[in-house]
Amino acid sequence: FLYPQPDYSAFREASYGHSTLEIRNRTHAFYHWNRNDDGQRVATDSV
């Protein structure tokens, strides 16, 4: 991260996690982000 936070940066999330990208077919994909929160996997975003 840059300090101070740039004007164009509206939100920062410094937590650690992992994501998966599943290609379903030629036109569809599934992206899922998990954040590690105190040792527990927490689903945070899916597209």
Band the pLDDT of 35: cuts 50, 70, 90.
confident
Q: What is the pLDDT of residue 7?
A: 81
Q: Scanning the structure block, which residue is given the tokens 């990208």?
A: 21
Nearest partner of 19 among 31, 36, 30, judged by Cα: 31
Q: What is the pLDDT of residue 24?
A: 95
Q: Mean pLDDT over residues 3-18, rounded?
A: 75
Q: How many residues does the chain have?
A: 47
Indicate if the pLDDT at residue 21 is higher than 90.
yes
Residue type, 25: N
What is the maximum alpha-carbon separation in the chain? 43
Q: Mean pLDDT over residues 17-26, rounded?
A: 90
Indicate if the pLDDT at residue 32 is higher than 70.
yes
How far apart, in whole angstroms, are the C-alpha atoms of residue 39 and residue 47? Answer: 24
Q: What is the pLDDT of residue 1?
A: 58
